[in-house]
Homo-oligomer: A and B are copies of this chain.
Amino acid sequence: MVAPRVYQALHQPIVGHLDPYFFEVAEDIRRLLGYAFSTANEFNIAISGTGTSGMETAVANFVEPGEKFAVLANGYFCDRLADVARRHGTVVARLEKPWGEVFDDQEARDFIRREKPRVVAYVQAETSTGAFQPGHAICEAAHEVDALAIADCVTSLGGMPVLVDETGIDIAYSCTQKGLGCPPGLAPLTVSPRAWERLRKRTAPVDSFYMDLRLLESYFRDRKYHHTASATMFYALREALAIVREEGIENRWERHRRNHEAFVAGVEALGLRMHVAAADRLWTLNTPCVPDGVNDAQVRQRLLSEYGIEIAGGFGPLAGKVFRIGLMGYSSTEENVAKILDALRKILSGAIK
């Protein structure tokens, strides 16, 4: 769900992509993204595409063909990172883990020290599993071997602590339509000074013009035309970030944590088991297991048609095994927790022993 104030912002009259007012909006976004990402990075922008364009921008700029790209692979978006990295000519090294589990510090360190890649990528908030991957040891080990650390924060930004600087993340990207409560259409991205240093030394052209960060820097900083950014989407993102600032990022995390825990307590009381271990759960996306003998598609269909609630199913190795229930951004409310629990209770009653 999108916050009503953000819907209002979509209405503001369009200005050109080189209008001084547009750059004021972009500057507000730059500053507010630093707050939401918990970073002192100066380079915080919104890529003119959806979350996946943020992922591809992060990868394409920081690898060159033939370099080693290490992925900690425990879900769908880790696989996507590996796919993107291969398309950009890298040699991919993977460390595998079942979907829903997370890597402990030592195994992450051992993997990175052994592989000595140029870039290490991991998914902080894995939308396909509901698991949160801590990144401190990953980033530390990456820096030890002179690699950069990329973190996918698509389902954490605005909903739980991303903590870019404290974690040591060099490139973090996200989307607008989850924890920020904005329509989809832009991909927030932040880049550390360490990563910029690497980029400045790069001699091979980035193999995408649209996603070339040095061109994007000269657009947003020097106001040199690169592409026609959408004022509409920038208005919406600025408003969504202003709401985050007003609520206070810690209060926002706390709201997400509280509603997540209320949901878990309620769903466990209904007899369902959570797929992810208690310590590793996202607060934004919950993955209770589908009880034995229950058809998950039927449950989702009834939720949508009888209760007006849209939830997602599992896919890949988790197809038919988990529900994926978002409580994020504007939608993370006590009312929504009560609604989904009540609907699940009615639909599942009798189906669970």
- Taking beta carbons and an 8 Å cutoff, which residues of A are in contact with B? 1-2, 7, 10-11, 13-14, 16-17, 19, 48-53, 55-56, 60, 80, 83-84, 86-89, 175, 177, 183-185, 205-210, 226-233, 236, 310
Contacts and interface: CB of A to CB of B under 8 A. Distances in A.
A51 B209 contact: no
A7 B13 CA distance: 9
B50 A227 contact: yes
Contact of A7 (B11, B16, B17, B60): B11
Contacts of A7: 11
A80 B209 contact: yes
A210 B48 CA distance: 12
A49 B183 contact: no
20 contacts: A10-B10, A10-B232, A14-B184, A19-B310, A51-B228, A52-B210, A53-B210, A53-B227, A56-B208, A80-B209, A86-B205, A87-B205, A87-B208, A87-B209, A183-B232, A183-B233, A185-B232, A208-B208, A232-B233, A232-B236
Contacts of A183: 14, 230-233
What number of copies of this chain does the assembly contain? 2
A183 B83 CA distance: 32
**Max chain B C-beta neighbours (<10 A), residue from A80, A206, A208:** A208
Nearest to A212: B87
Contact of A230 (B16, B184, B207, B310): B184
A176 B89 CA distance: 32
Contacts of A2: 13-14
A80 B177 CA distance: 31
A239 to B, nearest CB: 13
